[in-house]
Structure 1
């Protein structure tokens, strides 16, 4: 079946996302381990990804954990340092696909406020033909509902969608719905896949 759209996850496909690495640099590994053991920061972030307010959710969590108050606030105040750097080969592939006339969508677990801010820092995040952002949709991957919402909105048959994501659970649900998929483990393999699908030319893969 001909691929009619390519769908990118963002975190760890187009942008590196490693909060633990950031915190190790900001407060030291020992304190980071204590913080993450005491406070469910990833659960906090998932609330933001489901549509809760970016700043308020993080600051409320900080106030509820005064021993780590200032550390938790960094998740908001220095967030862009966690969502960095851009994975440039993936960005070039996104732009080359669009140059070739291939529709490019995003499907990402991302907060409303954090995504809006990220768009001011990374211009390519404003270049998707259709951005499907969980915070705007009120549901996150790998809930099948978010994939259904994409299908309903874009109107394309599932088998014509090629979806790249770095998490196997997200890929598995998409594949079960009939989407074509690629588990991202680095840009080289992803670009090879796009060339093999004749969506990119070999000279665009360099």
Structure 2
């Protein structure tokens, strides 16, 4: 931490920071990790962690920075996280978290960017409020409409393609067909190119 290396054996509880980000860790976050009460920062981002955030994470009251982003965590944010009073940096983005963000805590003072990428998450500081079922309120997009709009766009593309070909084709041929000087210049150019290619080949 801060450029200084320490080796912990029986004094693992004195560990102040842990950065295991950008690895290929999988499975659930070990419950035993929450016994490291001396941790000031914990970074497990950009892994393949699944399951729920440990309920006992609220016991890690010394945490100042917690980054669990870009995993596959699910379930609700534990209410016990409100007990982490020194927490100044939090990132839970791009998981599968759901439910309401714990209210009445400093967690609601973090930027909405700390929670984006969790479509089933709601409550402050996110703009989506929570319904009675604890899920985000607001219109649910109609996938059928999106598919219909996609088909309409593709239909116009296919209908316009032959017309584009005809217009582009005649934009080149029409001047050659109706203008004798341009036609002679064009064929003279083709002859020059042909003789130059033959000269290079020979």
Band the TM-score falls in, shorter-chain normalisation: under 0.3
TM-score (norm 1): 0.22
TM-score (norm 2): 0.22
Counting strand residues as a fraction of each chain, which structure ranks higher?
A: 2
Structure ID, larger Rg: 2
Q: Larger relative CO (CA 8 A, sep 6+): 1 or 2?
A: 1
Counting helix residues as a fraction of each chain, which structure ranks higher?
A: 1
